[in-house]
Amino acid sequence: SCDKAHDKGTTTSCIAFSPDGKYLVTRGGDGTLKLWNPKALKKPLSTATSLPSLNGETNACFSPDGQYVLTGTAGNRAGVLAGDISPFSVVRVLWHPKINQILTGSADGSIHVLYSPSSATKGITLAVARAPKARQLEDSFAYSAAGGDAGEGAGVGGPIIAPHSLPMFKDEGQVMPPVQGPGKGGRIGAAATQHVVQGLVRNNIRDQDPREALLKYATADPNDNTWTKAWAATQPKTVFDDRPDPEDDVEEKRGR
């Protein structure tokens, strides 16, 4: 064990081994990054200073081949080693061994990906090859307040403007069924005017005698051309085609 790896009263936020297990790196809240030999923890092999860390979850990691060590910093040197990434604290770093890309997470919630076009495979390179989507003015957007550092207590975030999330813009995909209950047409009760109108136009089919309704057709004149009045002037004498339908003969033969 190593009890004095970093200053007393500070937080050691990360301890990571190299891929081959021969080296150990520690990230301290005292602004240092130290490389150790796990077999001899009395003195670090190398120490990097002036690496401020304002977040207790700031980590460090080795490159896939174990030749480099990455860590995030805060303040004016916010970045990975000496590379500027974000005006806010860089909290987490990761060097993916398969796609050979570096991912960083900042205190403002942003994620950045660093890669080499010649050595990186898949990952962010698949998205970079596509053209950016055209942005419309009516699309919802959000913005965050610029300046300051999240670790120093600066406010992050701002009002989120999403006009299309209002109820008036929502499309009702399902038609609501009518109100069920007593009344007509699913309506419960009726206004005074509607009640008067319903009384004026009343359906009196219940008051009709079905026998009398049928007998009025029996007393009609058989020579009355009720259905052929359209030709009363041009064809006084009704002429019907008495020839059988050929299709009926075919169906009759099929039935036999």
Per-residue confidence (pLDDT) for residue 246, from 0 to 100: 74
Rounded to an integer, what is the distance from CA 218 to the centroid of its chain?
71
Q: Using CA atoms, how far apart are residues 45 and 25, in angstroms rounded to an integer?
A: 10
Residue 220 dihedral angles phi and psi, to the nearest 5°: -75, 155
Question: Residues 136, 163: contact at Cβ < 8 Å?
Answer: no
Question: Residues 16, 95: contact at Cβ < 8 Å?
Answer: no
Per-residue confidence (pLDDT) for residue 26, from 0 to 100: 93
Residues 206, 210, 215, 218: what is their CA dihedral angle, to the nearest 10 degrees? 110
For 92, residues 6+ apart whose C-beta sits below 8 A from its C-beta are 57, 58, 59, 72, 104, 105
For 69, residues 6+ apart whose C-beta sits below 8 A from its C-beta are 25, 33, 35, 60, 61, 62, 63
Residue position matching structure tokens 């390179």 = 125
Question: Residues 107, 145: contact at Cβ < 8 Å?
Answer: no
Per-residue confidence (pLDDT) for residue 221, from 0 to 100: 66
The HSE-up count of residue 188 (CA atoms within 13 Å, CB side) is 4
Q: Using CA atoms, how far apart are residues 236 and 243, in angstroms rounded to an integer?
A: 21
Q: Token digits for 229?
A: 């009045």
Mean pLDDT by 10 residues, the chain (256 residues): 82 92 92 91 90 88 91 67 64 91 89 87 82 62 44 52 68 63 56 68 77 78 64 72 74 65
The HSE-up count of residue 147 (CA atoms within 13 Å, CB side) is 0
CATH number for the domain whose boundaries are 12-128: 2.130.10.10
Question: Residues 54, 152: contact at Cβ < 8 Å?
Answer: yes
Domain boundaries, the chain: 12-128
Say which amino acid occupies 161: I
Q: Using CA atoms, how far apart are residues 211 and 209, in angstroms rounded to an integer?
A: 6
Per-residue confidence (pLDDT) for residue 154, from 0 to 100: 45
Question: Residues 143, 109: contact at Cβ < 8 Å?
Answer: no
